[in-house]
Amino acid sequence: MKSSIKEWESALKSCQMDELPKLLKQLSEDERQGAKRLVEIHKKRINQYREEQERLKKISLFEKQCYQSGKKRVAGVDEVGRGPLAGPVVAAAVILPEGFTLEGINDSKKLSEKKRDTLYESIISNAVSYSVCLIEPLQIDEINIYQASKLAMTEAICKLYIEPDQLLIDAMEVPLPIDQMKIIKGDEKSISIAAASIVAKVTRDNYMKKLDEVYPHYGFKKNMGYGTKEHLEALRKFGATDVHRKSFNPVGDFIQITGSE
């Protein structure tokens, strides 16, 4: 007696990926339209899985190169929040286990909030060590955003529980006596930097959501401090707060500090 289409569907969904081709070969002999539909759906699933595995291999090449050269503790480093008008710039440093992979990991800007949150939990649960550093607007205004970003990265590295012997950094060098590799668009090319990007982004977004409770007029939980139309309108109406970056245009035009409301 043939299995029903629903039974096949359940079996295909629950099976391990390495078992899927064998099941699809069996199902391909079934002439029912529902069977043919399932075969096509899960062939696409296999192709997507293989493409993802190839992508993960590609973004792990820098790490692999470092370990093959004798490194033991490779840290990815990235920052988020250079562009907003309000809130801190946040950097993260992450040391992943050698050979670690995580499906879906990518530049944090390319991921949905839900996906970032899920990956964040996996990253911090599996990391050998990770840390974050926030540089607040007052210091950003004092030393400029480039220097603040560099400082945040440097401090995040120094806060790691385990000292790295190799740094992979997204488009930056830091003043530390540790071998480092500056990788342009590193959050797309290195799994360690992508992990740091996600940790920094989730940390900063959560921080901005808390600021939204203190300063409800500016929409921080939605715009994360970026200069959206609504944010600019709130600046005109209520003025700049103590979490705005006074050195950023057009915040300077609304320099009067408003208290929390």
Residue 162 confidence (pLDDT) above 60: yes
Q: How many domains are contained in the chain?
A: 3
Rounded (10°) angle between helices 33-58 and 5-14? 10
Residue positions counted in the chain: 261
Do 196 and 109 fall into the same domain? yes
- The CATH number assigned to the domain holding 177 equals 3.30.420.10
51 annotated as belonging to a binding site for a ligand = no
Do 106 and 183 fall into the same domain? yes
**Residue 1: per-residue pLDDT:** 63
142 close to 246: Cβ distance less than 8 angstroms: no
Give the residue from 58, 75, 99 where a domain finishes: 58
The pTM of this model reads 0.90
Range of the domain at 132: 61-209
Contacts of 89 (CB under 8 A, 6+ apart): 79, 80, 81, 82, 134, 135, 140, 145, 148, 149, 152
The pLDDT tens digits of the residues spanning 215-257 come to 999 999 999 999 999 999 999 999 999 999 999 999 988 875 4
Give the residue from 13, 28, 58 where a domain finishes: 58
Do 167 and 127 fall into the same domain? yes
142 annotated as belonging to a binding site for a ligand = no
Do 164 and 127 fall into the same domain? yes
Do 41 and 165 fall into the same domain? no
Do 45 and 138 fall into the same domain? no
Percent of the chain with pLDDT over 70: 97
78 annotated as belonging to a binding site for a ligand = yes
